[in-house]
Structure 1
């Protein structure tokens, strides 16, 4: 499905949209203060539980986070969308997207990529209220949250496990890479790549 002109305007005006990912439906807004207010209220999510940011490419967040060249090399050796990487932010940002550390995921789903390419980085969080079971389709997720038709960016769900969350600490060589949550890429593959890197 292609974003309509009305949907682009809706999102840029602070609207929240349900969109497909390689796992469960995501819920996206441009991460402004007002957008995050609406998102966290809609999800009934505690403000001390930050959400990730989804992008079409890391180029979209170079002015937001510090991206070490070795992390880019690491990501280039795995399929797009396998990882959510926690990057240090260049300046303290809204705590609801992590403050000093921002989790960034490069989308692999073509519809999610189109969304980010069109409106810029968007939140990447599950499309459900906190504590509720997530819906399996974008439409069901949007309806369950009381969102209108304009908030539905439908597309085929590409089934698969979630992304692996990793964090790099170049100031601490003893724990340079840490797997926060194992997903599609096993921890052992991450550690092996890092040990064998050029």
Structure 2
């Protein structure tokens, strides 16, 4: 795993994009603070930049670096969640502008999955995560379902968990600073 973390880090550090296993589905990712790398992902996915992507984080410190104000209910939801949960929060900062939604929100998921966690530990930055498919196509449930176009379009494919099957993307919950809660995907 250490070799894969090193290789992925070197690509990301130089503005590249990677294909990697997450705690849910296979993802395409890059440094969440690098707008040029984010543009590469939008281009590869053939996705409009008005459709924001989520970022993965590996702890509270990283969360507070991106969000000055985090509603208390966010921590309660994360503590009670039995499966990976993406929270959409208000007023992100210290990330590339082109991953922030038009309503000034950003989806974020805390991960404990070892590869992602250790990669972000090395990066000291959040990691973009979007499903490994062309926009509008089905999300691949396994590595072998990822299209050749995606495989050829990334700068590095992480060589871990190629046999993992995943058919459950994360729950998505939108929280506003005025304590409104909206479940977007269960």
Gaps of 5+ in 1: 183-198
**Aligned residue number for residue 101 of structure 1:** 105
SS in 2 for 1:5: helix
**Aligned residue number for residue 159 of structure 1:** 166
**Aligned residue number for residue 30 of structure 1:** 31
* Alignment partner of 1:16 is 2:17: yes
Matches within 5 A, 1:35-46: 35-46=37-48
CA distance in 1, matches of 2:74, 2:154: 39
**Aligned residue number for residue 65 of structure 2:** 63
Give RMSD over aligned pairs.
2.6
Distance 1:167 1:177, change over 3 A: same
Distance 1:74 1:143, change over 3 A: same
Distance 1:45 1:15, change over 3 A: same
CA distance in 2, matches of 1:150, 1:95: 22
Matches within 5 A, 1:1-198: 1-2=1-2, 3-31=4-32, 32-65=34-67, 66-79=69-82, 82-91=84-93, 94-98=97-101, 100-119=104-123, 120-138=125-143, 141=146, 143-145=148-150, 146-147=152-153, 150-155=156-161, 157=164, 159-171=166-178, 176-182=180-186
Shift of 1:160: 4.9
CA distance in 2, matches of 1:25, 1:19: 6
- Contact 2:173–2:181, Cα closer than 8 Å, also in 1: yes
Distance 1:105 1:153, change over 3 A: farther
Shift of 1:177: 1.4
Distance 1:123 1:142, change over 3 A: farther
Gaps of 5+ in 2: none
The alignment of Structure 1 onto Structure 2 pairs a total of residues equal to 178
Runs of 4+ in 1 over 6 A off after TM superposition: none
Distance 1:135 1:105, change over 3 A: same
TM-score, normalised by the number of residues in structure 1: 0.76
Q: What are the superposed Cα offsets for residues 53-93 of structure 1, whole Å, 9 maximum, x if unpaired? A: 111123213122121233213312224x5211011125596
Q: What are the superposed Cα offsets for residues 15-42 of structure 1, whole Å, 9 maximum, x if unpaired? A: 1111112332111101211111111111
